[in-house]
Amino acid sequence: MVSRHSAFNRLASSVFTSLRVFASLLALCAVLTLDASVEAQVLSQWSIGEKGCGPCAVINSLIGTRDAELLEALEGRRAVDKARSFIREYGDAESIKYREHRKCFSRDHGTADLDLQHMINTFLRENEDVPVQGMHVQRADWERTHRYIRRIHAILDGSVTAKFHPIVSVRALAAEKADEPDENGDEKFVWNGKGAHWITVNSVGEMSQDGLGFVMNFSDSISGRKLSGYIHVERHRAAVVPMTFTVNDEGKEEWDWVSSKQCLMINAPGMPLGTAQAKWQQRTFTVLRYLIYRDPEAKPADRDAIEVTRSAQPSQG
């Protein structure tokens, strides 16, 4: 004869198991609900604001990896609600770059490289997940072009494998006539920024036959679509690119410009940055500037050492 105590234990165990299954189904439903949203499952930034691409890129990364637990950690049912939750929870901290002059996120300025990385890692640390790293997408002086491209390709591909779709800051530039002539009184042209933007990388293709580029598939919050672009080095027509910057005591940016031959360009016809408004005779290009990614070998135990960006210079070993 089975005792009442034994029967109760079996019933309690059955109920507990059912609750666990139900919780898992709820988490799965959160992903399925997002999957049923707009074309190509990409969150558009326009419900957040003109400068909302950073938080949207984070949500698009979580959607891309189908991370139900992390998505459930943010409030709201819709993707846009979760982006707003991410901003509320992590965007009000003081900016690492601008210090007292800005918060990590603002509607007027968006979010800078180290600030977005800090917001992501704070979120991941609170949820006991593996941290991310950051780097400027710049070739070292000693590094050969082919090795540089292979290195960035491997980092992007490795991060996708490590269940974090990497987030990349891109910057568009155009050669425009300066207000003042040069020292000889002739017309002078300068490179002016035409827009900065955060995108989420979903996958990368194989290296090209000549080893100078590869196709990158990404989610774009401006168009609200999944797009593709060709990543490559411009070897013949040099330009200069604003890569790293510091902020002075007045909160003003001071940029370090480098040769475009040390950078990676992206040719993505579907990405509507400010170069579309340039005059037909003006030279334009878009460059990859900063990359937030996950090292496949990183562990959750590393989550206390996540605040400082990695050096842009790779090991020579």
pLDDT for position 10? 58
- Give CA separation, 89 vs 22, 59, 74, in Å: 27, 14, 9
pLDDT for position 18? 54
pLDDT for position 14? 58
Amino acid 130 reads V
pLDDT for position 187? 82
Which of 115, 111, 202, 122 is CA-nearest to residue 163? 202
Give dist(CA 10, CA 16) in Å, integer. 10
Residue 213, exposed/middle/buried by CB under 10 A (0-12, 13-18, 19+)? buried
pLDDT for position 188? 83
Low-confidence ranges of the chain (pLDDT < 50): 1-2, 15-16, 19, 21-28, 30-32, 34-40, 301-317
Name the DSSP letter for residue 210: T
Hey, is 101 helix, strand or coil?
strand
Give dist(CA 143, CA 6) in Å, integer. 69
Give dist(CA 196, CA 286) in Å, integer. 9
pLDDT for position 23? 46
pLDDT for position 28? 47
Compute the chain's Rg from CA coordinates. Answer: 23
